[in-house]
Amino acid sequence: MKGTEKLTIKDVAKRSGFSVATVSAVINDVPIVSEKSKNKILQVIEEMGYRPNTIARSLKKSKTSTLAIIVKDITNPFYPELISGIEEVAWSKNYEVFLCNTENDIEKEKKYIDNLISKQVDGVFLSTSSLDRIVDYTVLSDSNIPYVFVNRKPNVLFDNEWFVGTDNYAAVQKAIRYIISKGIKDIAFYAGPQEYWTFNQRLLAFKETMEKEGLEVKDEWIFTREEFNEETGYNNTLKLIKDSKLPECIFCSSDPLAFGAYKALSENNIKVPDDMYLMGTDNNKFGELIGLSSIDMNNKQLGREAAEVLIDVLKNKETQKKNEIILPPELIIRSSC
């Protein structure tokens, strides 16, 4: 049925001959309405094309069936997978989700959080946290909005905070051990920005694994530049090449870093894997193009789990699950090593 007039539950009540309370009960599946009445009401709803006004419902119930995900930069190929996992589960449990892209802007992030509180979202996914909590997320819990850190987390986790992530330490440990098992000893490490838990863990794992295996970690082979994009990988590699001695392998804490490295290597006629082993992290789907070995961090599943946890918290208020959930990564070996 067309028409721009707004239908309310009152209209349905009037047309069907029942009271608003009864209609409301039908809409909300409260099982106190006789089958006969229910059918009649449903039919009228169908006929009139009535859709409940969720806003009014939210106001009354103080629940909006809305979640939000805050990310730094959605064009980072890591996020779409994560988001699609979240969306999938959220959808299945009848939540809509706001997408908040902070563009690396702290003030924007803070304002987003304020807005989300105003908009009364039921819960929030945070994938922006640095180790030292530049942004104060507890304003959310002060407003009774639970949140879960996804992928990245702050140094310490408070009560009422959840974290779902992949085991970055194990990921790198596994990868490095694999590389070593190939007889490689000289490994350069592009570490990425150390204020983030993920990159922090990865570097830690590298150092400790090398040490355990009795191998030397050269300072000039560790690059902790601020970014983890292609450009940084490219520049790191040029610098590496300028040095007299090349390592046998470059391990990159992200795939874009590895792509940049690959480009620099190609340009300098250094063949992968013949002259140099190369490994990335995150298993970007385009890594296959250059046969890049990588570590699959299971991003979609990460999103799914995060959504399960958050919605669980929402439903039970006190969830049985533990505060931290760590998923296993998977080593993906292709031709680059």
- 3-state secondary structure at position 293: strand
Distance of closest approach, residue 90 Cβ to DNA, in angstroms: 20
Residue 10 lies near DNA (rule: CB under 7 A): yes
Q: Are 120 and 62 in contact (CB under 8 A)?
A: yes
Distance between the two ends of the chain, CA-based, in angstroms? 62
Written as one letter, the residue type at 261 is A
* String of DSSP letters for 212-277: HTT----GGGEE--S--SHHHHHHHHHHHHHSSS--SEEEESSHHHHHHHHHHHHHTTPPTTTT-E
Which of its own copies, DNA, none lies near 114, with the C-beta cut-off 5 to 8 A by kind? its own copies
Instruction: Rank residues 179 and 292 by Cβ distance to its own copies and give the closer one.
Output: 292
Q: Are 120 and 64 in contact (CB under 8 A)?
A: yes
Instruction: Rank residues 18 and 259 by Cβ distance to DNA and give the closer one.
Output: 18
Task: Using the rule CB under 7 A, give the single segment among 49-57, 141-149, 158-166, 175-183 that binds DNA.
Answer: 49-57
Which of 14, 20, 195, 227 is in the footprint of DNA by CB under 7 A? 20
Which of DNA, its own copies, none lies near 28, with the C-beta cut-off 5 to 8 A by kind? DNA
Distance of closest approach, residue 324 Cβ to its own copies, in angstroms: 24
Which of 61, 111, 239, 285 is in the footprint of DNA by CB under 7 A? 61
Chain mean position to CA 121: 18
**Cβ neighbours of residue 213 closer than 8 Å, sequence gap 6 or more:** 176, 177, 180
Task: Using the rule CB under 7 A, give the single segment among 50-58, 163-171, 238-246, 288-296 that binds DNA.
Answer: 50-58
Q: Measured between alpha carbons, how far is 335 from 337 in angstroms, rounded to an integer?
A: 5
Distance of closest approach, residue 117 Cβ to DNA, in angstroms: 11
The size of the interface with DNA (CB under 7 A), counted in residues, is 32
Residue 49 lies near DNA (rule: CB under 7 A): no
Which of DNA, its own copies, none lies near 33, with the C-beta cut-off 5 to 8 A by kind? DNA
Which of the 8 DSSP states describes residue 105? -
Tokens 């239908």, residue located: 7
Residue 144 lies near DNA (rule: CB under 7 A): no
Which of 56, 99, 106, 289 is in the footprint of DNA by CB under 7 A? 56
Residues that bind DNA (CB under 7 A): 6-10, 13, 17-22, 24-25, 27-28, 30, 32-37, 50, 52-53, 56-57, 59-62
